[in-house]
Structure formats: structure tokens, C-alpha cells
Structure 1
Amino acid sequence: MSKTEAIENSLPKRPLSIRLGKYLRPLFNDLIARSSTVSNDPVLDPAIMPWTAMLEKNWKIIRAELDAVLKRRNAIPPLGQISPDHARIAADQRWQSFFLFGYGVKVEENCKQCPQTTALMKRIPRLNSAFFSILGPGCHIPHHIGVTKGLLTSHLGLIVPKDRKNCRFRIGTNMVHWEEGKTILFDETYDHEVWNDTDETRVVLLIQVERPARFPGNIARNIFMEGVKKSAFVKDAQDNMAEWERAHRDVEVALR
């Protein structure tokens, strides 16, 4: 048994709503895929989403705000401590996430630290989530698939190790590498895996938007997404994030 399988087997059973969602997911994904108005390939052309060019044009502004955030890196939670449903793939505490928006919910304190980035996010149609995804040196994210075909994900490279070949991302059978100021657009429902086999940190701005789809896939997408937003998948993560922030504020006050 692998380390990740052992972790998964040791976790308490998740609520019925999450288990039901996983059972129904293939049916929803198939309907969304057949109704998609963009490619169903693992990796897509970023140009199909005009806002990617807007972000690339402003990437240095985003990078400057990220640099300020990273000065307090110990205040950024490891994803595995926030989201119970990511525990299997986020056991490596070197994977941290600084959320601006999560499933439509604005993280007010974080957005205040990144006002220009937040303003850019508000210009993205049908935004679902936006956060800085931080991989420390040697970090590995095991293979997994995303929540739903109803979302497309992009990575805007902000900090990329000089040894780019050893900082890589497999999506399906495609092996891709990040580049600072450039976007990768992909479909998370393909099996994917990430390695940072370097001695430097990698950071991307991860954006999720709703996949463009015609009827009836757009209805299936909306129904599934509403279910996800109301489930423990999102609610537990929100509660854990609030608790993390409270605890960290208490520590900072005590140290003053």
C-alpha cells in the first residue's frame, strides 16, 4: 500500500452528499462534455479565454503582490490542513494555497492584501476560484482528477524554478512546464500529477472558471456546481480556513 493510499484509508468517511456527488459525477461529466462549446482535450489553447491575455499582460503586477504575501509565508496554510477532501493528495505540507476566491466566496482579508490582483479577478467572467498555489522544493502532488468537467483550470506562471525541466506537470499523457508570465489552460478531469524536483519554490496563480457549454450541459454544470458549493466539500474548507486565520491572528497578537 502506498503512503497516499494509507492516508486515504485512515480518513473518516465523508458525508453522504460528497459520496453521492462522486457517484453521480461521471453522468454529469459526460453530459457536460457532449455539450461543451470548447475542446474536451486535456490541454487547451489559452486564447479561447480572452481574460488569459489580460492576466499575462499584468502578470508583473500580480507577481509584486505575491512577493509581499510570501514575506509572511508561515501564515499561508498547507492545503491539506484546510480541505479534508484533498487530504490524500495534499499530505505534503509544502503545498500551500493563498485563496482570493473559493467557489464564488471572496476571502476578504486575503483580497485586501492583493487589491490589484483582486481587481483583475473581478474582470474574469464566471470565475469560480482564484488562489496562489505554492509548491516548495521537493514537493510532489500525487496523481488525481478534479471535481467536475464543468470547470476549466488555468495556471499563470509567477515564480518558476530555473531548472524548469524538473518542475513539471503531467495532464493525461501531456507533460508541460510552467513559464513566468504565461498561461496553461487545462481540464482537471484528466488524471494529472505535479513534481517540483528542484531546490526552488514554484508559484502559479490558479484560476477556475465555468466551462462554456450549451443546453443541456450548461444546466447539468450549474446543478452540479450548486451542489458542490452547498456540500461539506466547500463548507468544511471554509470553516477550517476561518479557524486557521483566527489561530494565526492570535499568535501574531501574542508575539507583539
Structure 2
Amino acid sequence: MKGSLSINQPAVRNVINRYFLKRSGGDSRFRIMSPYALFPESRKLDYQFDQIKAEVDKLIQAREVRPYGDIDPLRAAEVSENWRLYYAYMLGETNPEAYRDCPTFIDFAERTPRVVNAIIAILEPGVTLKAHKGPFAGILRYHLPLTVPRNNPPRLRVDKEIHTWKEGEAILIDDTFEHEVYNESDGDRVMLIIDIRRPMGLVPDLVNRLSLRLKRKWAGQFIEQSNGDI
């Protein structure tokens, strides 16, 4: 499929985004917060942390996780071509390889209705995600760091707030604010990223569900291109 999920139909996306953000508190909405108030289901991932980390470590050793530039080159040009991503679950479609690669993570994604995307993200030393905004306001983004280098650990800026990741300490961010990431350490940062439907009222949530359903046609492409080689 040509184009980019993040870039196509900008006029329609901008109208929907403005509607969602207005219904979510406008500029007064949070930037970075603990996930448990809005995503209490994530506590299960805390309990399963060691098991998930072991599965992901094994996956990384066995599989060449593809750079974002190979998956969505148009969007990657705006963010980073070298950010490595493995889509375990996208827009309601499961990566069939994930049942072997990360079974605990994929079981959580499939059993949690609010989950939109479930991704394993690797940020190598020296890789920076340039200042950008999330393209779709219908989601909030959860981060659970599995591996964080101790020497000059990677950090995140969302609007004017700065966060330094710590292994096993999850956060929730609103990525529609401008944000950027720096890895100036000497090691890889390995992260679970989960996108959940943004909590909104009944009508905007229905609009959100419909919008996500229409985007589902992109899922297979992203999953296939992120799989890489064993």
C-alpha cells in the first residue's frame, strides 16, 4: 500500500484531531503521567515484567528488528529512520510471529480491549527521535522500559516536561504534544510501547472506534515490514 498511515489524508485527520483534543481538555491535558489512573490494566504488565523482558531479550537475539525507515519511510523521514520497531499487534490485528516471539506481551494485547497497538521499540546509542507530534489524537501512548543504559540514560521531552526513563517504571504520555527522544548513552534502550484509545465521552469514543477501524487496512503492511529476518 502506497503512502503512509501517519501522513495520508491530513485534512480529515486534522479535523478529527481538533475534535478529540477539545473533548480531552485542550492545552490543559497532561503531558507525562503515571499510567495507572487512565490505564489500570497495565499493572498486569508490572507483575509480568521479568517474563516479558526475558521473551523480548530472546527475540532481539534471534530476530533482526527492522528500522523505521524500512517500515514507514515517509514518516520516518520526519522522526528517525534508525529507530527499530517490531509491531506485535496493530489496529486489532496480531502479528502471527508474535505468538512465538513475545507470547506474554501479545496475550495482554489481545485480552485488553482498549489496546490499539503493541510495539517493541529499540533505540540504539546515538539515535535521536527528532521533535515531532503524534499524528492521531485518538490514542495515548504507554511506555514500559525493559532495558535502560545506566550511563547517561536516554531521556524524553514532551512539550516542556523532561523525563529520564528507569527500567521497569512505566509512564503514559500524550504524544500529540511536540516531543523528542535522545539516546546519548552507550547502550540500547528497549521499550514496550502500547497505544490505548484515549478516554473520552461516548460520542467521541464512537468516532474514535470508527476512525481506527478504517485505519485497520494498514495493519498487515506494518506487521509484515517490521518482522525482519530470523
Give the stretch that moved more between structures: 82-91 or 192-201. Answer: 82-91
**Alpha-carbon distance in structure 1 between the residues aligned to 2:190 and 2:112:** 20
Structure number with larger C-alpha Rg: 1
**Alpha-carbon distance in structure 2 between the residues aligned to 1:127 and 1:15:** 21
The Cα shift of 1:71 comes to 1.1
The answer to whether 1:109 aligns with 2:97 is yes
Relative to 1, partners in 2 of residues 1:92 and 1:199: Cα closer, same or farther, differing over 3 Å? farther
* Structure-1 residue corresponding to 2:225: 240
The answer to whether 1:79 aligns with 2:73 is no
**Alpha-carbon distance in structure 1 between the residues aligned to 2:6 and 2:167:** 39
**SS of the residue 2:112 aligns to:** coil
Cα contact 1:35–1:215 (8 A) shared by 2? no
Q: Which has the higher helix share?
A: 1
The Cα shift of 1:130 comes to 0.7
Relative to 1, partners in 2 of residues 1:16 and 1:58: Cα closer, same or farther, differing over 3 Å? closer
Query: In the alignment, which of 27, 32, 46 is matched to residue 15 of structure 2?
Result: 27
**SS of the residue 2:111 aligns to:** coil
Percent identical? 28
**Alpha-carbon distance in structure 2 between the residues aligned to 1:25 and 1:105:** 22
**Alpha-carbon distance in structure 2 between the residues aligned to 1:19 and 1:125:** 26
* Structure-2 residue corresponding to 1:43: 32
Give the RMSD, CA atoms, in angstroms: 2.5
TM-score in terms of structure 2 length = 0.87
* Structure-1 residue corresponding to 2:211: 224
**Alpha-carbon distance in structure 2 between the residues aligned to 1:169 and 1:150:** 21
* Structure-1 residue corresponding to 2:57: 67
Cα contact 1:92–1:139 (8 A) shared by 2? no
**SS of the residue 1:71 aligns to:** helix
The Cα shift of 1:16 comes to 11
Q: How many residues align?
A: 226
Cα contact 2:80–2:130 (8 A) shared by 1? no
The unaligned stretches of length 5 or more in structure 1 are 1-12, 250-256
Relative to 1, partners in 2 of residues 1:43 and 1:224: Cα closer, same or farther, differing over 3 Å? same
Q: Which amino acid aligns with 1:149?
A: A
* Structure-2 residue corresponding to 1:205: 192
The unaligned stretches of length 5 or more in structure 2 are none
Relative to 1, partners in 2 of residues 1:190 and 1:229: Cα closer, same or farther, differing over 3 Å? same
**SS of the residue 2:36 aligns to:** helix
Relative to 1, partners in 2 of residues 1:169 and 1:18: Cα closer, same or farther, differing over 3 Å? closer
Relative to 1, partners in 2 of residues 1:239 and 1:107: Cα closer, same or farther, differing over 3 Å? closer
TM-score in terms of structure 1 length = 0.79
**Alpha-carbon distance in structure 2 between the residues aligned to 1:17 and 1:143:** 15
Q: Which amino acid aligns with 2:126?
A: G
